[in-house]
């Protein structure tokens, strides 16, 4: 069995040619004995494994890549496989799609405790990893990989290097940042529009003609396979989660009414909270809470978005411009900073900065008396004063 896996690994390595490294690569501490990388399907987790595999081989380290959705591994005991690999002097084990292996957390614990091998594993099911987190908490360091930021999209597409921006630097020096960006003759507003529609998932560059269909397949796999295999929802009720996504598509974020959403999705209000949680953990939804603490937080409705703008264009029949703008902003900022909805504006960052999100003519009327208040404006290349180009918030990671 081990020989077959090595042959498959060699075959995959020959077809692997991606050199671009995602934002998270240099933040991962590969010296830890066990590292877990989770994120939605298609964001590039397998690519990171192969990039690290190549690094290890250049260092003459013994490393083995195993995808746990290999059909020929059905019925194979993972511990037996690891024991055989360890007996040959194996040093690194790269496990892809661990959630496909039943009771994977118990096996990972056993590998950690019994073998002197470093393990890096991935999962496309954030829900399964989060459920297993308590079991693995003392053993594994977890990293959440998101889709392309707008900055990464530009880097990958145009083969250029662009710096990550700090949020405070954007607020204080956005004009200088825009002026200093090495974007040459790139039409930034045209690129931003394309990113909004198709640029979040790296596989777009391989599957441009079937991109939206692949996104829909991703949603269906997450619901039909991941959530049902975890026992979180019965197969016969998966259509309710898909119905719920349709309802959210049709609802503006600031019009969240749980009773109405439950009725439209044909589910009970109690089940609604569970389903929203599953879809959020599965990185299909993005929920932003109000800036309240304690019991009050339970009583306050969050804004609910699809996770990113590409999902909006793939799943929703039509996209409200305001919703698209807010979805982009919430998606990019919440990966890096604490984000809440604001009573005065649209969003509150780190409980300090108040933001209104809108078009190029958006004014400060609603937040004019607020300290540290800014407008994130679409359709402008450069800002002025406290009005900042919306696209620049795509440079936070």
Residues 304-352 have pLDDT tens digits of: 999 999 999 999 878 899 999 999 999 999 999 999 999 889 999 999 9
Mean pLDDT of 184-194: 95
Mean pLDDT of 101-127: 89
The residue with tokens 């077809």 is 15
Plot region of 350 (φ>0 → left; ψ -120 to 50 → alpha; else → beta): left
**pLDDT digit string, tens, across residues 357-374:** 999 999 998 898 899 999
Q: Which of 128-142, 196-210, 275-289, 379-393 has the lowest mean pLDDT?
A: 128-142
More confident residue, 100 or 51: 51
More confident residue, 357 or 103: 357
Q: For the chain, give the mean pLDDT.
A: 91
What's the token pair of residue 52?
């690290």
Distance CA 386, CA 368 (A): 11
34: three-class secondary structure by DSSP:
strand
Query: Which distant-in-sequence residues (6+ apart) come within 8 Å of 118 by Cβ?
Result: 30, 32, 33, 34, 35, 91, 92, 93
pLDDT at 393: 98
Q: Any bridge partners for residue 305, and if so which?
A: 286
pLDDT > 90? residue 157? yes
> Residue 168 in contact with residue 177, Cβ under 8 Å?
no
**pLDDT digit string, tens, across residues 194-205:** 999 999 999 999
Host H or E run for residue 179 = helix 167-180
> Residue 360 in contact with residue 377, Cβ under 8 Å?
yes
Mean pLDDT of 143-161: 96
pLDDT > 80? residue 172? yes
pLDDT > 90? residue 54? yes
**pLDDT above 90: percentage of residues in the chain:** 63
* pLDDT band per the 50, 70, 90 thresholds, residue 120: very high
Distance CA 314, CA 239 (A): 17
**pLDDT digit string, tens, across residues 60-90:** 999 999 999 888 888 889 999 999 999 999 9
pTM: 0.91
pLDDT > 70? residue 298? no
Distance CA 153, CA 23 (A): 11
pLDDT at 341: 93
Distance CA 168, CA 367 (A): 19
199: three-class secondary structure by DSSP:
coil
pLDDT at 249: 87
């Amino acid at each position: 069995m081990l020989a077959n896996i090595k042959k498959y690994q060699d075959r995959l390595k020959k077809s692997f040619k991606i050199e671009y490294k995602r934002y998270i690569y240099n933040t991962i501490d590969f010296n830890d004995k066990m590292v877990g990388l989770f994120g939605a399907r298609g964001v590039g987790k397998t690519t990171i494994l192969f990039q690290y595999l190549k690094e290890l081989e250049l260092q003459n380290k013994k490393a083995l890549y195993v995808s746990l959705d290999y059909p020929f591994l059905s019925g194979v005991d993972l511990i037996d496989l690891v024991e055989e690999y360890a007996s040959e002097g194996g040093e690194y084990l790269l496990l892809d799609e661990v959630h496909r292996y039943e009771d994977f957390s118990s096996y990972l614990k056993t590998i950690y405790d019994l073998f002197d091998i470093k393990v890096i594993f991935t999962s496309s099911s954030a829900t399964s990893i989060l459920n297993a987190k308590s079991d693995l908490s003392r053993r594994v360091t977890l990293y959440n990989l998101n889709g392309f930021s707008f900055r990464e999209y530009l880097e990958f597409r145009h083969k250029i290097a662009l710096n990550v921006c700090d949020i405070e630097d954007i607020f204080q020096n956005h004009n200088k940042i825009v002026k200093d960006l090495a974007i040459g003759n790139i039409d930034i507003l045209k690129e931003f529009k394309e990113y909004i529609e198709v640029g979040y998932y790296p596989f777009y560059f391989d599957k441009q003609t079937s991109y939206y269909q692949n996104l829909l397949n991703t949603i269906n796999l997450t619901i039909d396979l991941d959530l049902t295999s975890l026992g979180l929802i019965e197969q016969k009720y998966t259509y309710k989660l898909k119905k719920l996504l349709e309802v959210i598509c049709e609802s503006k974020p600031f019009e969240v009414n749980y009773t109405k959403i439950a009725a439209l999705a044909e589910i009970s209000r109690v089940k609604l909270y569970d389903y929203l949680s599953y879809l959020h953990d599965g990185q299909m939804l993005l929920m932003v809470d109000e800036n309240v603490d304690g019991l009050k937080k339970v009583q306050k409705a969050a804004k609910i978005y699809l996770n990113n703008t590409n999902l909006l264009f793939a799943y929703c029949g039509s996209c409200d411009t305001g919703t698209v703008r807010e979805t982009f902003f919430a998606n990019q900022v919440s990966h890096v900073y604490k984000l809440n909805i604001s009573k005065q504006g649209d969003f509150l960052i780190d409980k300090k900065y108040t933001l209104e999100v809108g078009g190029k003519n958006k004014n400060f009327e609603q937040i004019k008396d607020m300290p540290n208040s800014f407008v994130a404006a679409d359709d402008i290349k450069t800002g002025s004063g406290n009005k900042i180009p919306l696209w620049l918030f795509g440079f936070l990671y």
